[in-house]
Copies of this chain bind each other. A is one copy, B any other.
Amino acid sequence: MSDPMEAYRIDAEPYYRPVGDEIELFEAAYAARMPMMLKGPTGCGKSRFVEHMAWRLRRPLVTVACNEDMTAADLVGRFLLDAEGTRWQDGPLTLAARHGAICYLDEVVEARQDTTVVIHPLTDSRRVLPLEKKGELLRAHPDFVLVISYNPGYQTLLKDLKQSTKQRFGALDFGYPEHAVEVEIVVHETGVTTAVADKLVAIAERARNLKGHGLEEGISTRMLVHAGKLIAQGVEPRAACRVALVRPITDDADMRDALDAAVATYF
């Protein structure tokens, strides 16, 4: 209990290959303590970017995977009954606000409105968090800032952030890296040769062109890293691509065959 943030500090630099001015913009936003929203498809590096920035800014990182069953109390905290009586337990948002961490709400669009609305007083000039059950009005630590991720492809009529939430955040767009950058990432993360990584990225680029034409989502950088790791384990490249790239993203027999054929033109 000496340093409640110890588990949340990031000691080693997380590998992140910048693709534009995102590091500088995040630093400026953090200097102004502006809450940030990271927009982009799954598996393109949003979570890794936040880890990297937390390391770079030397702030602890409290990550919350949002979901529909999460209540406001899961974010804010609750009283627990133990042998000596009741004890208040800070939730992750309170913990971050109290101790000056970056709080990262991953896939915030999954959360119910009551969990998103609790962040409002922390994201305007008040920078407070009312702990109503505890009768405390917590003023956020000067180093605290809130970051959320948001996949525009997922938002629906039923699940979207309210404008009154969105307008509290600055926003950065993320996408898949350019060819050469993505090859560099795959080589760095898996240890395959540049030649193999080059083929994997080429396969992914073909599949990304099929998004909206039978594929719901393209092959992400994360999936290329999966394939590379299997190949590095000695798995035959076609089998590795089957397991790591094709089978996870489609259940349709025709699409599966088309993707397998695309793989076969490279390996």
Which of B68, B116, B134, B152 has a CB less than 8 Å from the CB of A113? B68
Contact (A7, B136) CB under 8 Å given A114-B110, A167-B42, A170-B244: yes
The answer for the CA separation of A167 and B75 in the assembled complex, in Å, is 26
Copies of this chain: 6
Mostly, the A contact residues are mixed
Contact with B along A240-251 (1 / 0, CB 8 A): 000110011101
Q: Which bracket fits the contact residues of A? A: 35 or more
Complex CA gap A221/B23 in Å reads: 26
Known interface pairs A34-B226, A124-B222; A72-B83 also in contact (CB < 8 Å): no
Q: What residues of B have a CB within 8 angstroms of the CB of A65 in the complex? A: 117-118, 120-121, 130
Q: Which residue of B lies closest to A117 (CB)?
A: B67
Q: Is residue A112 within 8 Å, beta carbon to beta carbon, of the partner chain?
A: yes
Nearest CB on B from A9, distance (A)? 10
Whether B235 contacts A28 by the Cβ 8 Å rule is: yes
CA distance A231 to B3 in the complex (A): 36
With A25-B243, A85-B81 already in contact, the answer to whether A39 and B132 are too (CB < 8 A) is no
- Judge whether A163 and B42 touch: CB under 8 Å: yes
Does A194 have its Cβ within 8 Å of any Cβ on chain B?
Answer: no
Within 8 A of B (CB), among A102-125: 106-107, 110, 112-118, 120-121, 124-125
- Decide: B154 and A162 in contact? CB cutoff 8 A: yes
- A130-141 vs B: 1/0 string, CB under 8 Å? 101111110000
Q: Are A70 and B67 in contact (CB under 8 A)?
A: no
B230 near A32 with CB under 8 A, answer yes
Please name 4 further chain A to chain B contacts, defined as beta carbons within 8 Å, in addition to the given A82-B84, A89-B134, A167-B222, sorted by A numbering.
Answer: A29-B230, A68-B113, A92-B132, A169-B248
